Structure 1
Amino acid sequence: MRSVVGLVTVVAASTFYLYLLSSYLPPGPQLVKRNNDEGVESSGENSENNLRSDGRLAESRLKFPSDLEELKEMAQLLRYYKTEHGGYVLLLFCSAYLYKQTFAIPGSSLLNVLAGALFGPWQGLLLACVLTTVGATFCFLLSRAFGKQHIVRLFPDKVAVLQKKVQENHSSLFFLLLFLRFFPMSPNWFLNMSCPIFNIPLTLFSMSVFIGLMPYNFVCVQTGSVLSELSSLDQLLSWRVVLQLLLVAFAALLPGAVIRHYSCTRLQPSSTAVKKD
């Protein structure tokens, strides 16, 4: 009972913080309208009304994107605010990302794409990798504090299979964790919540998340960076964009191919373990 109350308290407090952060927006960059022929500037009252209207519109549009259309609108809105409130946009993005990762809410891939559109390919990649690692670590700690017994009760078969893999490959545990991130037999959210059950060291877990999910983050961030530069769908078929996307795909597949090649010698298959027994 205490674990449920503690978990609900953490979720409620985090949700309230994110709600306050997204509700009380700073004023957007003021756009002063002029009439070039008459040299007349818009009145202060009208400008103030426009800012209030823009603020209400922005507040209604600040939500987790669920598709590419909403993602595009969100990117336009945050790029508009980023011109004068870069710190606020960074804080809002990091808070939303960590919220999703900590509580295992689907949709992080769209936020990775948004990182590429807002912060560029390399800053966006670094930010996505750090936030993925920190968010997964928070999920790990939350599960260790409140949820281990519930994970075992809800997913007994998955826990048993993963526990067997950990026991068989205890001597190459870090390599196993990397392999599971590149070729997940279970979703990432389940790995984040179940690793405390097997007493995986936190440092080992965090390093495997940072390295193992880097190719996935790279693909999403680079895609967001490419798409943010397009002004029409015709540009999507240009040679520059096609070659850039092919390079992204190759860079993402290469680490996985290396891991798969060495997995035969480093990781012990279940069949071998059965024969030894």
Structure 2
Amino acid sequence: MKEQQDVDLSSHSDPSSLRSNGDNREIEAKFPLTFWETAGAFGVILGFAIVLVGMYLSLPDSDYSFLKFPRTLEDLRVLRYNLDRYTMDYTIQVLVGYCTVYIFMLTFMIPGTVFMSLLAGSLFGVLRGVALVVFAATVGASCCYFLSNLIGRPLILSLWPDKLVFFQNQVAKRKNRLLNYMLFLRVTPTFPSAFINVASPLVNVPYHTFAIATSLGIIPIAFVTVRAGMALGELQSIGDLYDIQSIGALFFIGIASITPTLISNKSKS
């Protein structure tokens, strides 16, 4: 058994050909994409575009030059000021548009979701803001998961080949406590969130485990960020979001989520 494990791990040393421990299928870098993979990716993009255009057409005629992905706090303040005028009269359109943009950003790994979380707190308050962020983040991560399962291999093998090998080994070691491990990854900055979304289907993390860990694991971070959005005018930088108390709380939650795995491994040894 030990020999078989060594053989499997040795095959991981080549980033261009990684063998899955779950069903022995190979994760290979393949590019260019097949016709159906390319069609599927464009179909997802087209779906998002149709929803966004529909939301845009349902709003009253006005100057919407402020509508763009926020990259700075100043961009966010301008966006918040303008959207606040529409939130009361066009609540449904704003909610759908917000969720669509958030999901789109996560699906295609576009940076800036922290600004969208701040915007949720500023527009909708803490409770509704956290619920909105958790919903949109879970759906967006799920879309990224399924899209990666379709076309993600060449992308992740070009960006994070070494991380993928390490992640696959860790997942294989923690099959019995995989939910705890995935919760730990969501709460702590062990891996980038985008990497977890893209890599999970390629290393055989079951979707139900992925979805539960995502929806529960992002609640603490969402709460911290959304709450900060309530005082958007007082923020000087993104670094102001995470004080010592917030970081300590997230660290404690991360340790608590992985403790059952550590205890189980110790008892087995």
Range into which the TM-score falls when normalised by the shorter chain:
0.7 to 0.9
Residue in 2 that maps onto 1:13:
46
- The alpha-carbon distance between structure 1 residues 16 and 184, as it changes in their structure 2 partners (threshold 3 A), is same
* Match runs of 1:79-228 below 5 Å: 79-227=84-232
Q: Flag the 1:82–1:259 CA change in 2: closer, same or farther, 3 A.
A: closer
1:219–1:249 contact (8 Å) kept in structure 2: no
Deviations 1:27-84 (A, max 9, x none): 2xxxxxxxxxxxxxxxxxxxxxxxx5xx0x2x21111111111111111111101121
Which amino acid is the alignment partner of residue 193 of structure 2? N
Match in the other structure for 2:3: none
SS in 2 for 1:72: helix
> Could you list the runs of 5+ residues in structure 2 that have no partner in the other structure?
1-32, 236-240
Alpha-carbon distance, 1:263 to partner? 3.7
CA distance in 2, matches of 1:211, 1:11: 26
Classify 1:202/1:262 alpha carbon distance in 2 versus 1 (closer, same or farther; 3 Å).
closer
CA contact (8 A) 1:172 1:267 kept: no
Structure 1 counterpart of 2:29: none
TM-score (ref. length: structure 2): 0.75
Q: Rate the CA distance shift 1:156–1:218 in 2: closer, same or farther, 3 A.
A: same
Change (3 A) 1:68 1:125: same
Q: What amino acid does structure 2 have at the position aligned with 1:20?
A: V
Q: Is the 8 A contact 2:117 2:222 kept in 1?
A: yes
Contact map agreement 1:6 1:146 (CA 8 A) in 2: no
Give the conservation status (yes or no) of the 8 Å contact 2:221–2:250.
Answer: no
Q: 1:255 Cα deviation (Å)?
A: 4.8
Structure 1: tracts of 5 or more residues without a match:
28-51, 237-244
Q: SS of the residue aligned with 1:65?
A: coil
Rounded to whole Å, the distance in 2 between the matches of 1:79 and 1:250 is 31
2:8 aligns to what?
A: none
User: Which whole-Å CA distance do the structure 1 matches of 2:71 and 2:116 have between them?
Assistant: 10
RMSD: 2.8
TM score, norm. by length of structure 1: 0.73
Match of 1:257 in 2: 252
Contact 2:102–2:113 at 8 Å: present in 1 too?
yes
CA distance 1:11–1:64, change in 2 (3 Å): same
1:43 alignment counterpart? none
Whose relative contact order is higher, 1 or 2, with alpha carbons under 8 Å and at least 6 apart?
Answer: 2
Q: Shift of residue 16 of structure 1?
A: 2.9
Q: Identical aligned pairs, as a percentage?
A: 29
Shift of 1:26: 1.9
The corresponding residue for 1:38 is: none
1:24 pairs with 57, 66, 69, which one? 57
Cα deviation 1:186-242 (Å, max 9, x = unaligned): 210011000001111111101101111111111110011123xx5xx5xx8xxxxxx
Shift, 1:257, TM fit: 1.0
- Conserved? CA contact 2:87–2:94, under 8 Å: yes
After TM superposition, the runs of 4+ consecutive aligned structure 1 residues lying more than 4 A away are none
- Mapped partners of 1:67, 1:262: distance in 2: 33
User: What count of residue pairs does the alignment treat as equivalent?
Assistant: 228
Alignment deviations for residues 82-125 of structure 1 (CA, whole Å, 9 cap, x no partner): 12111111111111111101111110000000000111111000
Return the index of the structure with the highest Cα Rg.
Answer: 1
Please say if 1:73 is aligned against 2:68: no
More helix by share: 1
In 1, Cα distance between equivalents of 2:44 and 2:172 = 33
1-side partners of 2:160 and 2:133: how far apart? 29
